[in-house]
Structure 1
Amino acid sequence: MKQSVAVPKTSSFKLADTLKALLAKFKVKPPKFEFNTILKKLIIPLVSIVAFFGLWHFGADLLRQREIDFRIEKTLQDQGQVAADAMADCFAGNGTDCQTNTLPSPSQVWASVQTLVADHYVIKADKAAFVEKTAAVNAQRAEQGKSAIVYTGRPSFIDIVLTSLKTVFAGFLLAFFIAVPIGIVIGLSDTLRNAINWFIQVFKPVSPVVWYLLVFMIVKTLLIGTSSDNSFVISFISVGLCSMWATLVNTAMGVSSVDKDYINVAKVLKLRPLQKVFKVILPSSLPLIFTGLRITLSVAWMVLIAIELLAQSPGLGLFVWEEFQNGANDSNSKIIVAMFVIGIIGFLLDRIMLMIQNTVSFNKNATA
């Protein structure tokens, strides 16, 4: 008959028993890691990311090879076999004189990311050296009442992103201060809403290019004779006018659809008009207002690129256009970097608006 042998508990077993005892004492249930949850929330997204980059790499290689074959064949027809063989050798050796102008691969885009980050630190050091060099001169100019000498070198990619963020937030605030008050007013009055509805329906679908031209006509006249750079002013006003319509419509809809019982209670309590707006109407309208604000911010970020390009404002729009015009070996890669940055920032801005909406609104179940 076999005898059972007691196995001494190691420190890991003792630690596990201690944790179980603590969880039982404080009535804490250990988290359950179900395979289906892990599959849906972790494994499948990771697989989709890997598949995306794999397809991108495969597609970029196909496009590059197609361009190489075409250029070699063209050289063969125009200059003969020797020139075609030389070009083929150049492409095979990845020579700087033989670069394709097509979709860059993920590795090329990552190399451009590293280049842009390195450039940022170089430009940052140049700015610091410039400030140190001109500190004494600027101090004298300040005593004389003159403006300081400022750094006029090219901005880094980080500076360009910050400029775009500053422009879009200025435009968003302009849209907020125009759309929300007007939306409240026309939401409170059917007569005003019917009177202004034609204006909203006509101007809401207008292209950002047209809004830019309209703002340019007005701003250049108002600021005529000034030496200041008007590109930022024109950009953020255009962004605000393009993107405000969703907030305007949603605010008016939210105000007009407030439960009539709330309005009757406000009348019974004899609230003044402003009290009724801030204590009854706005809290009830917040879900729709914030839905409009989220759309407004998304639209503002989208139209910003076209408007910055037209206004020559030193943001992401101008950066993309200049790289497209530049035609350098890494220009296409930098454009793709800008595309990812634009998309990621747009996603983060929407998440921030959703968090604010859930914080200030009684509707805590707002989702993407």
Structure 2
Amino acid sequence: MATAFANSGPFEQSKACTPEVGEAPVLEKRAGAETEPAETPGIAATALAGKLSTLLRSLVAPVIGILAFLFLWAALAPQVDTSLGALPGPVEVGEQGVALYEEWGAAKDLEARFYADQDARNEAAIAAGNPGAVQAFEYAGPPTFLDQIATSLETVALGFLLATLVAVPIGLLAGLSPVFNAAINPLVQIMKPVSPLAWLPIVTMVISALITSADPILPKAFVISALVVMLCSLWPTLINTAVGASSIDKDLLNVGRVLKLGFLAKLSKLVLPASLPYIFTGMRLSLGVGWMVLIAAEMLAQNPGLGKFVWDEFQNGSSQSLARIMFAVIVIGLIGFLLDRLMMILQSLASKNHTV
């Protein structure tokens, strides 16, 4: 700043005021600036065309694909005969979806009426001076389709949480210790492809031996289904966590040695933040595997979720059963898609915000 001001003497000021050499470029720039708005419509048109192209790819094309699928489904479904009649089309499946929602509404009305009647009886008993006749029964109606969706989400959430709690620590240790990684690698490769149908009888016998109470905190079928989900879904998280922990920049680990960080400090300040994108990638894969495994586990364990709904409708064999099963399949796919989108958002946030 001092040098700049020192150079600006009277000569420099007079030279800056003389319109000989420096004015022409300025006038050219101004003339160019006046011609810039003429190019703006072309730029705006290009940007608008790009936005329309993006909208076409992201919205219009998927809608066309879905409509084409529905058209083919409606055209080909009547040509397929089953033991319960022709294969239901989109209209019949949609009607059963509406019927299932109406059944849920009717069940909620019955539940509200049950509690209202119970409260009225209890108030009458208290008013009559007979508090011993007060009752507090729980409504024991059959679960509706929406109740079964909630049960499936709770089951997969518990199984996914248990899988994460088991897989992340083991994966971090495997990534940091080549000896530990070599020790558990054969077990991981053997256990990873095991089907949930093979795990189910083992888990059922173990849980039946452990839970002997007549009124456990969690229903036995719920625990069995959640554990089967855990055993089948923890492997992607474990493997990705190990890969993330083993691919940390060696310079970071050297910095930890120079700072004499302990194992826990190095794990929390260096290893875990650097491995977060890998961990979330594994968790996303694990959640998808867990949701697929859940339906088979609920079918055989008789956990009152979507798997049991599909199995009960298959056993029922009514004229609406096939349409209801197909509607349940669509709901299962939509929920799996939403869960995957949720984990994708969390993964992107972890990739942007992790700090090392």
TM-score, with length taken from structure 1: 0.76
Cα-Cα RMSD: 2.6
Relative distance call for 1:216 and 1:54 in structure 2 (3 A) is same
Contact 2:159 2:230 in 1 (8 A): yes
Instruction: Give the residue type in structure 1 aligned to 2:75.
Output: F
Match of 2:325 in 1: 335
The 5 Å alignment of 1:172-183 reads: 172-183=160-171
Relative distance call for 1:191 and 1:147 in structure 2 (3 A) is farther
1:49 aligns with 2:39: no
Cα distance, 1:33 vs structure 2: 4.2
Aligned equivalent of 1:107, options 50, 69, 91: 91
Bigger Rg, structure 1 or 2: 2
Q: Which has the higher contact order (CA 8 A, sep 6+)?
A: 2
Q: Mind listing any 5+ residue stretches in structure 1 that lack a counterpart?
A: 1-23, 68-98
Contact 1:283 1:361 in 2 (8 A): no
1:186 aligns with 2:174: yes
Contact 1:323 1:334 in 2 (8 A): yes
CA offsets 1:269-291 (integer angstroms, 9 cap, x no match):
22221111111101111111111
Contact 2:114 2:139 in 1 (8 A): yes
1:134 aligns with 2:81: no
State the alpha-carbon separation in 2 of the partners of residues 138 and 307 from structure 1.
Answer: 41
Match of 2:313 in 1: 323
Cα distance, 1:243 vs structure 2: 0.6
Match of 1:163 in 2: 151
Instruction: Give the residue type in structure 2 aligned to 1:120.
Output: W
Instruction: Give the residue type in structure 2 aligned to 1:43.
Output: V
State the alpha-carbon separation in 2 of the partners of residues 191 and 235 from structure 1.
Answer: 34
Aligned equivalent of 2:241, options 246, 251, 268: 251
Cα distance, 1:100 vs structure 2: 4.7
Relative distance call for 1:137 and 1:279 in structure 2 (3 A) is farther
State the alpha-carbon separation in 2 of the partners of residues 325 and 149 from structure 1.
Answer: 31
3-state SS of paired residue (2:80) = helix
CA offsets 1:181-236 (integer angstroms, 9 cap, x no match):
11112221111111111111111111101212111111111112434331111111
Worse-superposed segment, 120-129 or 43-52: 43-52
3-state SS of paired residue (2:286) = helix
CA offsets 1:310-337 (integer angstroms, 9 cap, x no match):
1111100000011111111111111111
Contact 1:178 1:244 in 2 (8 A): yes
Cα distance, 1:137 vs structure 2: 7.4
Match of 2:80 in 1: 63
Match of 2:300 in 1: 310
State the alpha-carbon separation in 1 of the partners of residues 224 and 122 from structure 2.
Answer: 30
Relative distance call for 1:252 and 1:110 in structure 2 (3 A) is same
Contact 2:84 2:322 in 1 (8 A): no
Match of 2:228 in 1: 238
Contact 1:167 1:236 in 2 (8 A): yes
State the alpha-carbon separation in 2 of the partners of residues 263 and 138 from structure 1.
Answer: 68
Instruction: Give the residue type in structure 2 aligned to 1:113.
Output: G
Aligned equivalent of 1:122, options 106, 117, 123: 106
Give the share of equivalent positions with the same residue, in percent. Answer: 46
Contact 2:197 2:296 in 1 (8 A): yes
3-state SS of paired residue (1:244) = helix
Match of 2:209 in 1: 221
Cα distance, 1:136 vs structure 2: 6.8
TM-score, with length taken from structure 2: 0.79
3-state SS of paired residue (1:150) = coil
Instruction: Give the residue type in structure 1 aligned to 2:255.
Output: V
Q: Mind listing any 5+ residue stretches in structure 2 that lack a counterpart?
A: 1-39, 126-130
3-state SS of paired residue (1:32) = helix
Match of 1:86 in 2: none
